[in-house]
Amino acid sequence: MRVVDAIIRVLKKEGIDYLSCFPTTPVIEAAAQADIRPIICRQERVGLGISDGYSRITNGKKLSVFAMQYGPGAENAYPGVATAFSDSTPMLILPLGHPLSRDRVFPLYSSLKSYESITKYIEQITTPEKTIDVIRRAISSTRIGRPGPAMVEIPEDMLNKEIEESLVEQYKSVDFVRSKANDADISAVSKIILDAKNPIIIAGAGVLYSEASKELEELASLLQIPVMTTMEGKSAISERHNPLALGSGSGVMSDPVVHFMKNADVVIALGTSLTRHPMVTTIPPGKIIIHNTNDPIDLYKNYNIDFPLLGDTKLVIHQLIDSCKDYLGNKVIQNDVASEIRRIRDYFLNNWDQHLSSKNTPISPYRVISEFMKNIDPSDAIVTHDAGSPRYQMMPFYQSDTPRSYIGWGKSHQLGTGLGLAIGAKLASPDKFCVNFMGDAAFGMTGLDLETSARSGLPITTIVLRNETMAIETNHMKISHEKYRARDLDGDYAEIAKSLGAWSTVVNDPDDIAKAILDAKDKNEEGKTALIQINTSKDQNFANMRPFG
């Protein structure tokens, strides 16, 4: 058996039925021969976004794979891998490598050397007999501890080498391994939480990956603690139906998040890295911090943690529930937290109603988000933003519902990432209405991959908030814009979409937004990719929602 066929046989054993890829690599032909469908993207970064979105929606339970050629293919893929690494998305990446005879010879690009800093695990196949062990190690790294991308470089001269078929037959699928926190630590933490006057829970992506949303809601309800989510953890708790949900915190945040974070005495961070970053809510000083993560590298990284809890988030929450119940006995905690959340949220939304209900033209982007929420049930949709203004405008207002009904991202900032994520989400959940919100600049980065959505039969809807500029750079490019109009960029995205095989429409009147969204949903259900170009204002009001820096 050839090495390339052995790799594909292992992928089949892991349940792989599709391969996101971009030529040229013999892995594509070998996969197709084994009835693994290739999803051919227009550029490597979007192909990785497809794998990324697929992996997030399946919580990494189904292995996601991307393959590309050596040289330009590996070079173009770098930003997509960087995003997956920063957001801890599990996937397997299979770049072709130069033949070993010229491996790492200047100026040839080496994936093994270049990707080491943005992969959780990376290895090169150097002899046929090592192939299965290398693939096993890579796959296991995506499933044990903190998730993340793993890469196996396959030198071109290794592909057709012979390997003993018995080695392939002996391969067994890699299990997920999880561990609890120390029981004594759980007991100590439970006392701290029960004694707290104003505790708050921060729920991160670890809640989603460990499938702990029900446990999170049970813990919050038992102790009547408000819950905010991180950008990546958004949808870990229902923002529509759970009265203890505050919303998400990121570079901007709503009043409920600000109020309860500011006044908290104890912060219970569950399944989050607590990374300091402009896109992440900063914990103000003076709080007692309880930090749960499954990766020791996160502990004490950016904060003086008072109580570390190393372990799988679902198991740790179970431990906390059981421990707190033991201490509570028959006591039931009652407070007015839920009513306070409702009061502050109502006040916040009332203050923003002038934007959310604006009849102005060009259209307020907040009116677009409001109309989307009024007309689309979030439990039937998977929604993502792009970097820049759309992210800031959506996260404080969009109310996610079921787990993974929203894909939040952004510690790595590549514009255009949302398009691939939405296509990958559609691949994982074909019955969902999968939507990505983009700006002009983001469309310019990846917009041609609308054709990938149309050609591959993975119909998504793209909503372009067209304001003809890089609005988020308004305060950063004043002189260059005044002298050279440096921020201006534009295009007729609706016409481009039509030329790529998608249905499209243009919206100039805010009263037409709802119909356009529902028409796009209908087109998706008919199997047609859709784009809505909404001509919006250069609204930058989100700058008012950055209280912690």
Query: Tens digits of per-residue pLDDT, 244-273?
Result: 999 999 888 999 999 999 999 999 999 999
Q: Give which of 98, 107, 54, 38 is closest to 74, Cα–Cα.
A: 98
Strands 433-439, 406-407: pairing kind: unpaired
State the alpha helices, DSSP H only, in 196-336.
205-209, 213-223, 255-263, 313-328
- Can you tell me the mean pLDDT for 186-191? 98
Residue whose entry in the numeric block shows the structure tokens 């460990």:
210
Q: How do the domains of the chain map onto residue ranges?
A: 3-169, 183-335, 357-545
DSSP 131: H
CB 46 within 8 A of CB 449: yes
The reported pTM is: 0.96
Handedness of CA 418, 17, 93, 501 (dihedral sign): negative
What is the predicted pLDDT for the residue at 170?
Answer: 94
341-350, pLDDT tens digit by residue? 999 999 999 9
Domains 3-169 and 357-545 share a fold: yes
Mean predicted confidence (pLDDT) in 537-541: 80
- For the CA atoms of 342, 344, 347, 351, the dihedral, rounded to the nearest 10 degrees, stands at -130
pLDDT band for 473, please (50, 70, 90 cuts).
Answer: confident
Confidence of residue 541 (pLDDT cuts 50, 70, 90): confident
CATH superfamily, with its number, for domain 357-545? Thiamin diphosphate (ThDP)-binding fold, Pyr/PP domains (3.40.50.970)
Quote the CA–CA distance of 203 and 148 in Å, as a whole number. Answer: 19
Q: Which residue has the tokens 């892991």?
A: 14
pLDDT at 278: 84
Band the pLDDT of 451: cuts 50, 70, 90. very high
Residue 549 confidence (pLDDT): 44
The 10s digit of each residue's pLDDT in 14-32 is: 999 999 999 889 999 999 9
CA 86 from chain centre, in angstroms, equals: 10
**Mean pLDDT over each residue of the chain, to the nearest integer:** 95
- Asked if pLDDT for residue 84 goes beyond 60, the answer is yes
What's the pLDDT tens digit per position in 87-133?
Answer: 999 999 999 999 998 888 889 999 999 999 999 999 999 999 999 99
**CATH for the 183-335 domain, from 2.60.120.260, 3.50.50.60, 3.40.50.12500, 3.40.50.1220:** 3.40.50.1220
How high is the pLDDT of residue 548?
56
The architecture (CATH level 2) of 3-169 comes to 3-Layer(aba) Sandwich (3.40)
Q: How far is CA 42 from CA 46, 94, 258, 423, in A?
A: 7, 18, 41, 13
pLDDT digits (tens, 9 = 90+) for 23-70: 889 999 999 999 999 999 999 999 999 999 999 999 999 999 999 999
Cα-Cα end-to-end distance for the chain: 58
In percent, the amount of the chain with pLDDT more than 70 equals 99
For residue 543, what pLDDT is reported? 57
**Measured between alpha carbons, how far is 215 from 221 in angstroms, rounded to an integer?**
10
Q: If we measure between CA atoms, which residue out of 316, 342, 343, 346 comes closest to residue 244? A: 342
| pLDDT number for residue 544 | 65
Task: Check residue 232 and report its DSSP letter.
Answer: T
